[in-house]
Amino acid sequence: MHSLLRWLFLVAFSLIFSTLFAQNIQWQEIYPGVWKGVAGKPDSYDLLKAADVTPAPALQKMAKADFPLNAQEIHFQLNSGKTYLRFPLERNEQLFGFGLNFQTIHQRGKILQLHADHYGKTDNGRTHAPTPFYVSSSGYGVFVNSAKYMDVYAGSHVRKDAREPAKVMDRNTDNNWEAHPYSDAVEMLIPAEGVEIYIFAGPKPLNAIQRFNLLSGGGCLPPRWGLGFTQRVHRLSTSEQVKQEAKAFEDKGFPLDFIGLEPGWQSKSYPCTFEWDKSRFPDPAKFVKEMDAMGIKINLWTNPYVSPDAAIYQKIKPYTGSHLVWNGIVPDLSMPEASKILFDQFEKEHVKIGVSGYKIDEVDGFDSYVWPDVATFPSGHTSEQIRQTYGLLVQKQSFEMFRRNNMRTYGLVRGSNAGGSSFPYVIYNDNYSHEDFITALINSGYAGVLWTPEVRASKTAEEWLRRFQTVCFSPMAMINAWSSSMEPWTFPEVAPQIKAVAELRMKMMPYWYSEFAKYHYEGIPPFRGMSLEEGFGIDIKKEKTTASLEDNPYAEAVTREVKDQYMAGEYLLVAPLFTGQTTRKVILPKGKWYDFYTGKFVGDGEVISITPGLDQIPVYVKDGGIIPMMPMKLHAPKSGEKVDLEIRHYGEKNSSYKLYDDDGNTFDYEKGMFAWREIKVEKQKNGSFKGSISKEESGKPNNIGAVTWRFMTP
Amino acid sequence: MHSLLRWLFLVAFSLIFSTLFAQNIQWQEIYPGVWKGVAGKPDSYDLLKAADVTPAPALQKMAKADFPLNAQEIHFQLNSGKTYLRFPLERNEQLFGFGLNFQTIHQRGKILQLHADHYGKTDNGRTHAPTPFYVSSSGYGVFVNSAKYMDVYAGSHVRKDAREPAKVMDRNTDNNWEAHPYSDAVEMLIPAEGVEIYIFAGPKPLNAIQRFNLLSGGGCLPPRWGLGFTQRVHRLSTSEQVKQEAKAFEDKGFPLDFIGLEPGWQSKSYPCTFEWDKSRFPDPAKFVKEMDAMGIKINLWTNPYVSPDAAIYQKIKPYTGSHLVWNGIVPDLSMPEASKILFDQFEKEHVKIGVSGYKIDEVDGFDSYVWPDVATFPSGHTSEQIRQTYGLLVQKQSFEMFRRNNMRTYGLVRGSNAGGSSFPYVIYNDNYSHEDFITALINSGYAGVLWTPEVRASKTAEEWLRRFQTVCFSPMAMINAWSSSMEPWTFPEVAPQIKAVAELRMKMMPYWYSEFAKYHYEGIPPFRGMSLEEGFGIDIKKEKTTASLEDNPYAEAVTREVKDQYMAGEYLLVAPLFTGQTTRKVILPKGKWYDFYTGKFVGDGEVISITPGLDQIPVYVKDGGIIPMMPMKLHAPKSGEKVDLEIRHYGEKNSSYKLYDDDGNTFDYEKGMFAWREIKVEKQKNGSFKGSISKEESGKPNNIGAVTWRFMTP
């Protein structure tokens, strides 16, 4: 009795204490440079539980590091059923992340409610992937593992007890008056009795992102065909029409790897039956097989909302939520029972006949379509928790279904969240601003997700071409013209340029595939913002702006958002043009840079102005850049197909490149069936370069044919 | 011990039961036609507690009525610390209310989070007055008394267990497919362990609104001068410049009753000292007195955020929140200590020298300026609760300060909420869309608040005039040209028309004052939407539209939002024109309507097209309309000043009007010092009309001078 009383007293005391006073968090280093802390009593269900992934092995091999923040300045406090968190913020930091934002890169000063939703033209925290992770320009990352709507004040407010409160001024008469003086904290409010927090060390911001991605299982590894082209066909297309579309691409010599079918392939949708419409697809198995013989995989549109006419309706009904979505019942996919019924049906109807992937629609939100926050679910998880994790759940469960069948997949999804980086899905939406697409592509690298700047339709040849150019330098080369019925060759005046850039995409497949392997094994995002590039923002020679924050060593990066150029893989800087633009500026980080097409030197740590013409998308290569390329093919190489390589080298530096290879289709790489080959380029005594490639390892895949070398810089 | 166990068991059982199952609510009739119900265990602090008002006596005298809904169809359920509410919704209902919306009148189908905030160009629940009250076209009202951010699904979603779920259709092939079929419930989610709910009977929607307003203490009764004109001067104006401005109005013969001083009257702001700037106002007491002698009252801008340089800073600091706003500390006005320190200072510095009111700024929100939701307050109330009620608190506490001094006030405030209808404040904001202003004016009548469509600046003479015209038919005739320095006579080409409509506003003061008295004593909003007008939407003769909801008796009202005409007082229908409009349609409810200016018949239950020219704002009078008017004056009549009346009658009907009178300045009306005089107009045997007015009661105010009658309809 005595010890029970003492225990009760301790519990009550700790409860009262944590309610009345801000407390520090005990940090436990769970991997090198990764610390976990627990504030209060976290919910039993969270983002990592929904994603249910195993951290990637490379996480154990990351460099040792010190705790990157002053632990005394990280506080939590419980108040009225919510958890308050506070992280320190220095004057010279910039923050990146907080999910897939579409209009802004810099997050310092923002107020967000992280909330799974479609993108509603405002970066307010509502987005397809509201990842509660941020990375600081000072080289650390913070992840709050909660499946609740989380309020974030990213250095927007000043506390009464701030270390350096603003000087008192009179707004009426003092020109130096500021509405928003220096805020020394990122503050968050999580509607839960506690929460799990992860801190990631750098030293560089990219290292913190790597650790975050590796904790989430590493990045996804698409099948090789996933990096080829995809087109989507009209929702009422028949199997014959789909074949004709594939034939049209072949006839035009335009690359194509997979075709997506829109809702009409189902007997009824919305809500969905998940069963084939036999009037349009009389023999689905035969159709999928014939398409495969043409080198084309099939991707199926669906959402998870079940029609009363679906065969699985009665069986799944007990495991569905209280409200309808698109007039269908909503499987509670946090319950294994619901997941099994739904994905067993997918497996039987689609995967077993060779369907290679899905476009999983409407799992993100849009309040008036998805279930309301008043909905209840049989698992007992709240509507909010299910909404924050639904994208993760459909990805995880469909991914596992493909893994069971030892078939890799690469598909589309409208919703994701932290923990989902290893799922082979690319986020898309209904917005169609080319500028927003590029901002999102940049932000995807800070959020542990992939994003595609697809092409759908265009009013002018110029727009059609400009959009195609960026699609070819993105995670998925998607033509999504099911509604416009446009084709890559629709504008004859730009058809050759479009074909050229499409061919370039295909030729670069060894590079893209290796870069995705680095995403998978090392957690390095294949597409990412300039702030993660060494030498960016430091000592930019030209166009120096007056920094608005004093004593700021990252003047350019902090004061100016760079939303129109990005890094693609290890060596490439892509600087797209938008419709109407004929000239633009490109910020080259410190170090020498070369034109991708000509190999000529273009600048070093400076801002250049370019007028590149319509034909090509400006791409620059870092000094020492090595780009492995293959001959143009209409389809991605098949398993075991030998492929010749042309290995390009740019600039003046000796350098090396890790080339990845595996069968491109199965999960055998998880059993060690993959190979890294080291490419090296070294300057000879006579001043010329020489390249070499490491030997194949016995028992490992080797798909390399003849190798030629091309030293691009004269 | 046995009874304790039983009690524990009962508590546990009821808790588990209410978590697992939706329950009905026990309703208690607390006034005729007003029921209170309690779901779960409500928060100890709510909107009515913040407003702290006594229901108006008239509430007891409202007609008896039956409970207006099927009580079996009202449910609540507790889930994860939140309260779920569900109210039934028939197919033919339209819903109005849910706060001061700016773009929409019809709320059915909307998803809102009721959240005190500035208006951010979207009606998403974030507004200056997020009143959790709605009224149905079927004649009942619902008020949820919570100071939390409340999620509202106003018939937007369909439950799996809906009585009449939608027929299954195929979106791909069936044209009748609907994304949003009939939803049979208004659902809400309140982040609290329980909540208090009030249901108001009709039979008409207006009766439900009356009951709601009377429960909130009735509408406010402004001083008579509050219904005259007000101008605001530049923030750096000196006392001499303010006098010059008043003189300019006098010289031009333009009415003016009060002038507002912007931030520069304070020694420092923002944050505020609440003390006079002695360089601009060397002798405030003398200044206020001199202005009063000119017939001009003084209104002071302020926000409640305290400067470190304020005399009260150290004293109030212990009663302030954790975060700064505009670099000032934030008084926790839910604590009497904070309120006393702040308003004692206001009283001493301002009220005691004759200042008549305030413009209380920035108490609504705008996330990046007001305290964050992570803030804590010494009262223990959450940041959210303080934000939802801060507007109520400043109104209540300043109102009580004036009441202590037996001086009525009429001011401006940026934030309010349910319970605040008796506080003499008008809401304003920074938006300046004339159309939005009128929509807000209409919605104010459904939300228990007042709103002013002020004039600030205009690019053209037409716009200047059109805005002036609506200001003259609104709760506060405000010219807010402190920033533009524009004057009513700035555009000479419309100066005469502006003067004419301003004079009309002044002449109509007996009408306006009586209509506000009906707001105060009977809860009838002086400015309100057409849906509250009998005969509106029924049998509109022309322009019948096909109803999109079947079997709908309110076809027009339900299917078409009328956002450009409104009722002003008992008898007037105002149909303003916006810049660029030369012609418009006006929907006349069933019954005969007459032109306000000519008395001519214009229509009966029909849609008319008008081309009224620039000179006048179209105003129509209901058959039998009686409008008491006075001679033009530059200032509102003073206490005891006898005023001649011209009483106008319109149309063919015998009718009557209740004319209100009191001293116009003090709270003596609360002690019975007021009079209602009955005006009657009756048709004589010879067909002409004759008017009469009831005798004055002895010991009651009587400010009526000579009475003339004007029968407007030929």
Q: Report the pLDDT value the prediction gives residue B148, as an integer from 0 to 100.
A: 98
Q: Report the pLDDT value the prediction gives residue A20, as an integer from 0 to 100.
A: 64
Which architecture does CATH list for B224-514? Alpha-Beta Barrel (3.20)
Q: Report the pLDDT value the prediction gives residue A8, as an integer from 0 to 100.
A: 65
The pair phi, psi for residue B44, each rounded to 5°, is: -75, -15
Cβ count near B63 (within 10 Å): 10
Number of residues assigned to chain A: 714
* B389, pLDDT greater than 70: yes
CATH for the stretch A527-622? 2.60.40.1180
Amino acid at position A346, single letter: F
Q: Between the ranges A15-24, A260-269, B478-487, where is the mean pLDDT highest?
A: A260-269
Average pLDDT estimate for B328-354: 98
**Cα A467 to Cα B517: distance, rounded to the nearest angstrom:** 64
pLDDT > 70 fraction of chain A, expressed in percent and rounded: 94
pLDDT (tens digit per residue) in A50-69: 999 999 999 999 999 999 99
ipTM of the complex: 0.92
Owner of token pair 């209509």: B515
Q: Report the pLDDT value the prediction gives residue A168, as an integer from 0 to 100.
A: 84
Q: CB A269 to CB B172 under 8 A?
A: yes
* Mean of per-residue pLDDT scores for chain A: 94
Q: What is the CA B430 to chain-centroid distance, rounded?
A: 17
Cβ count near A558 (within 10 Å): 21
pLDDT (tens digit per residue) in B529-565: 999 999 887 444 444 344 343 333 334 434 578 999 9
Q: What is the CA B322 to chain-centroid distance, rounded?
A: 32
For chains A and B, count residue pairs whose Cβ atoms are closer than 8 Å: 149
Q: Which residues pair with A297 in a beta bridge?
A: A258
Average pLDDT estimate for A403-414: 98
Q: CB B180 to CB A307 under 8 A?
A: no
- Best A43, A126, A157 member to test B by mutation, with max B CBs in 10 Å, is A157
Q: Cβ(B671)–Cβ(B699) under 8 Å?
A: no
C-alpha angle B168/B174/B178, rounded to 5°? Answer: 60
Estimate the crossing angle of helix B434-447 against helix B461-471, to 10 degrees.
Answer: 10
Q: Could you tell me the two tokens for B562?
A: 């009328």
Residue B374, class by beta-carbon neighbours within 10 Å (0-12 exposed, 13-18 middle, 19+ buried)? buried
Amino acid at position B106, single letter: H
pLDDT (tens digit per residue) in A664-681: 999 999 999 999 999 999
Nearest CA to B309 among A169, A439, A285?
A: A169
Average pLDDT estimate for B256-279: 97
Owner of token pair 């602090």: B45
Q: Cβ(A489)–Cβ(A498) under 8 Å?
A: yes
Contacts A111 to B, Cβ<8 Å = 367-368, 372
pLDDT > 90 fraction of chain B, expressed in percent and rounded: 90
CA distances from A309 to A280, A302, A358, A625 (A): 18, 15, 21, 56
**Cα B324 to Cα B326: distance, rounded to the nearest angstrom:** 6
Q: Which strands sit side by side in the sheet containing B619-622, from one edge to the other?
A: B527-528, B566-568, B572-574, B619-622, B584-595, B601-610
Q: Report the pLDDT value the prediction gives residue A545, as an integer from 0 to 100.
A: 41
Peptide bond preceding B203 in cis form (omega within 30 of 0): yes
Nearest CA to A504 among A620, A616, A622?
A: A616
**Cα B105 to Cα B20: distance, rounded to the nearest angstrom:** 36
- Put simply, whether A79 touches B (Cβ < 8 Å) is yes
Amino acid at position A280, single letter: R
The pair phi, psi for residue B47, each rounded to 5°, is: -65, -45
- Put simply, whether A235 touches B (Cβ < 8 Å) is yes
**Contacts of residue A289, Cβ cutoff 8 Å, sequence gap at least 6:** A353, A354
pLDDT (tens digit per residue) in A227-284: 999 999 999 999 999 999 999 999 999 999 999 999 999 999 999 999 999 999 999 9
Tell me which DSSP letter residue A55 carries: P
Number of residues assigned to chain B: 714
Q: Could you tell me the two tokens for A460?
A: 């002018």
Q: Cβ(B457)–Cβ(B466) under 8 Å?
A: no
**Cα B518 to Cα B524: distance, rounded to the nearest angstrom:** 6
- Put simply, whether B236 touches A (Cβ < 8 Å) is yes
Of the pLDDT bands very low, low, confident and very high (cuts 50, 70, 90), residue A553 is very low
Q: Report the pLDDT value the prediction gives residue B8, as an integer from 0 to 100.
A: 65
Amino acid at position B532, single letter: L
Owner of token pair 């080289």: A139
- Put simply, whether B282 touches A (Cβ < 8 Å) is no
CA distances from B195 to B41, B77, B145 (A): 7, 11, 7
Q: Is B499 left (phi over 0), alpha (psi -120 to 50) or beta?
A: alpha
Owner of token pair 């990805």: A395
Nearest CA to B89 among B33, B153, B151?
A: B153
Task: Write a three-state SS string for A486-500.
Answer: CCCCCCHHHHHHHHH
Amino acid at position A563, single letter: K
Distance (Å) from the alpha carbon of B264 to chain A's nearest alpha carbon:
6
**Cα A704 to Cα A678: distance, rounded to the nearest angstrom:** 13
**Cα B692 to Cα B682: distance, rounded to the nearest angstrom:** 9
pLDDT (tens digit per residue) in B299-324: 999 999 999 999 999 999 999 999 99
CA distances from A498 to A231, A478, A503, B100 (A): 15, 13, 9, 52
Q: Report the pLDDT value the prediction gives residue B20, as an integer from 0 to 100.
A: 63
* B22, pLDDT greater than 90: no
Of the pLDDT bands very low, low, confident and very high (cuts 50, 70, 90), residue A548 is very low
Q: Cβ(B325)–Cβ(B362) under 8 Å?
A: yes
Q: CB B160 to CB A368 under 8 A?
A: no
Q: Report the pLDDT value the prediction gives residue A14, as an integer from 0 to 100.
A: 57
Contacts B171 to A, Cβ<8 Å = 263, 269-270
Contacts A156 to B, Cβ<8 Å = 367-368, 372
Owner of token pair 């009441």: B403
Q: Is A289 helix (H, G, I), strand (E, B) or coil?
A: helix
Establish whether domains B23-167+179-215 and B527-622 are of one fold: yes
Nearest CA to B188 among B231, B232, B145, B249?
A: B145
Beta pairing class for A566-568 and A592-595: unpaired
Tell me which DSSP letter residue B320 carries: B
Q: Report the pLDDT value the prediction gives residue A549, as an integer from 0 to 100.
A: 37
Nearest CA to B520 among B58, B13, B71?
A: B58
User: For chain A, which residues make up each domain, given as ranges?
Assistant: 23-167+179-215, 224-514, 527-622, 626-711
* B698, pLDDT greater than 80: yes
pLDDT (tens digit per residue) in A432-489: 999 999 999 999 999 999 999 999 999 999 999 999 999 999 999 999 998 888 999 9
Nearest CA to A93 among A209, A186, A210, A198?
A: A186
Q: Report the pLDDT value the prediction gives residue A56, as an integer from 0 to 100.
A: 98
Q: Report the pLDDT value the prediction gives residue B11, as an integer from 0 to 100.
A: 58
**Contacts of residue B258, Cβ cutoff 8 Å, sequence gap at least 6:** B225, B226, B228, B230, B296, B297, B298, B299, B356, B357
Tell me which DSSP letter residue B669 carries: G
Q: Report the pLDDT value the prediction gives residue A540, as an integer from 0 to 100.
A: 44
Which of A181 and A546 is assigned the larger pLDDT?
A: A181
pLDDT (tens digit per residue) in B418-455: 999 999 999 999 999 999 999 999 999 999 999 999 99
Beta strands in B95-174, from DSSP E residues, in sequence order: 95-97, 111-116, 126-127, 133-136, 140-145, 150-154
pLDDT (tens digit per residue) in A293-340: 999 999 999 999 999 999 999 999 999 999 999 999 999 999 999 999
Q: CB A271 to CB B168 under 8 A?
A: yes
CATH for the stretch A23-167+179-215? 2.60.40.1760
C-alpha angle A343/A349/A351, rounded to 5°? Answer: 70
**Cα B206 to Cα A73: distance, rounded to the nearest angstrom:** 56
* B594, pLDDT greater than 70: yes
Longest dimension (CA), chain A: 88
Distance (Å) from the alpha carbon of B254 to chain A's nearest alpha carbon:
30
Q: CB A172 to CB B264 under 8 A?
A: yes
Q: Cβ(B700)–Cβ(B673) under 8 Å?
A: yes
Q: Report the pLDDT value the prediction gives residue B59, as an integer from 0 to 100.
A: 98
**Cα B135 to Cα B92: distance, rounded to the nearest angstrom:** 14
* Chain A: residue whose CA lies nearest to B371: A157
Owner of token pair 């069971």: A404
Average pLDDT estimate for A512-531: 98
HSE-up (13 A, CA, CB side) for residue B626: 25
Distance (Å) from the alpha carbon of B382 to chain A's nearest alpha carbon:
7
Q: Which residues pair with B629 in a beta bridge?
A: B646
Average pLDDT estimate for A383-392: 98
Of the pLDDT bands very low, low, confident and very high (cuts 50, 70, 90), residue B365 is confident
Q: Which residues pair with B425 in a beta bridge?
A: B411
C-alpha angle A279/A284/A289, rounded to 5°? Answer: 145
Q: Cβ(A140)–Cβ(A69) under 8 Å?
A: yes
* Chain A: residue whose CA lies nearest to B378: A20
Q: Report the pLDDT value the prediction gives residue B708, as an integer from 0 to 100.
A: 98
Contacts B191 to A, Cβ<8 Å = 191
Residue A103, class by beta-carbon neighbours within 10 Å (0-12 exposed, 13-18 middle, 19+ buried)? middle
pLDDT (tens digit per residue) in B250-259: 999 999 999 9
Average pLDDT estimate for B691-711: 96
Distance (Å) from the alpha carbon of B242 to chain A's nearest alpha carbon:
17
* B626, pLDDT greater than 60: yes
Of the pLDDT bands very low, low, confident and very high (cuts 50, 70, 90), residue A4 is low
Distance (Å) from the alpha carbon of B225 to chain A's nearest alpha carbon:
30
